[in-house]
Amino acid sequence: MAQKNTFKGNKQSLPSKPCKTCGRDMTWRKAWAKNWEQVLYCSDACRKNKSPTPP
């Protein structure tokens, strides 16, 4: 007898991806639900740092 509905231990696995600037893993946030694919930076600071001035 095969049980098809084995639904246990299913932890919430939220997507995550590294910040473009600092490389730290940022976990999916509800606020990013609408534009998760466009979120590249973990914070405003990193967003401003996206184009570092060359020396």
Asked if 46 touches Zn ion (CB under 5 A), the answer is yes
Asked if 50 touches Zn ion (CB under 5 A), the answer is no
Asked if 22 touches Zn ion (CB under 5 A), the answer is yes
Asked if 39 touches Zn ion (CB under 5 A), the answer is no
Burial classification of residue 20, based on how many CB atoms lie within 10 Å of its CB (0-12 exposed, 13-18 middle, 19 or more buried): middle
Asked if 29 touches Zn ion (CB under 5 A), the answer is no
- Give 37's DSSP letter: G
Which of 22/36 has CB closer to Zn ion? 22
Residue 21 in tokens: 């600037």
